[in-house]
Amino acid sequence: MEKTKKENSKKVDAKKLNIEMKNKDKLTEIKEFYNEKIKKWHIITFIIVAVLYTITFFAQVYTLKNGGITVSPNATPIALVDQIKESFLLSAVILIAGITPYIPLSVFGVAQAFIIVDDMILRNAYGISFVPTLYVGGLLQIVGIALSVVLGVYYCRLNTKKNKYYHHSDFGLDDVKMQLYEIRKDEKKIEEIVKKKEAKAKEIEACNIKIPYLKLVALSLLAFAFEFIGIIITQI
């Protein structure tokens, strides 16, 4: 009886170990995917948007202090819960926008970096939040926004490749040329066309890719996490 219990205990431990190893493997894959495909463009996008955000933010703060901005009595800062909801929806929309091939609509997501400045200035005007926490919180939100945009654009690139693969035509101008060259018995030109068609076939085949949905969603949630932390900091 005791022997059976020990064997069952070992089986449970083995299952737990396998699950833990699988989870670690998935996390490693996501990390590698980010480093290889996303990191470079995430950094570039973040730097560009952060510079523009910084200029816009401090220009607005300066204008507010010098009386250049008039705050309407009816204007109220966005509530915390509403900000979190909007941020989550934005992260989702930016990623989903990548479903459109050829047109990277996700790029327009960078506009959010400037939209959040308006609410920050309003909070500062009412004395609800301080400039340092507003700026740092906004910067963290931009880390998330930049990541969402890059993920959306990358998703668009993958969908563009898939679209090319599924909508390519087997018959084209090269086939017409080949028929003419066959009539003329121009072997040299026929060979050139054959090589060209083979190269094109390889290029099309390379477009038959699998989209890593799990990795895209996981990193999109990470982007939202950055935005969430940033929003919390702006409330201080």
pLDDT in tens, 13-24: 545 545 555 556
Please indicate, yes or no, if residue 87 is contained in any of the structural domains.
yes
pTM for the full predicted model: 0.79
Please indicate, yes or no, if residue 79 is contained in any of the structural domains.
yes
Distance CA 145, CA 155 (A): 15
- Report CA dihedral (75, 77, 81, 84) to the nearest 10 degrees: 120
Please indicate, yes or no, if residue 20 is contained in any of the structural domains.
no
Phi first, then psi, for residue 110 (nearest 5°) are -65, -20
Please indicate, yes or no, if residue 25 is contained in any of the structural domains.
no
pLDDT in tens, 30-67: 999 999 999 999 999 999 999 999 999 999 998 888 87
Residue with the two structure tokens 């939040």: 129
Please indicate, yes or no, if residue 6 is contained in any of the structural domains.
no
Please indicate, yes or no, if residue 94 is contained in any of the structural domains.
yes
- Identify which of 140, 84, 90, 92 has the alpha carbon closest to the alpha carbon of residue 112: 90
Please indicate, yes or no, if residue 2 is contained in any of the structural domains.
no
Distance CA 142, CA 152 (A): 15
187 is in which domain, residue-wise?
38-234
Mean residue pLDDT of the chain comes to 84
Please indicate, yes or no, if residue 204 is contained in any of the structural domains.
yes
pLDDT of residue 6: 55
Work out how many domains the chain is built from and give that number. Answer: 1
pLDDT of residue 181: 65
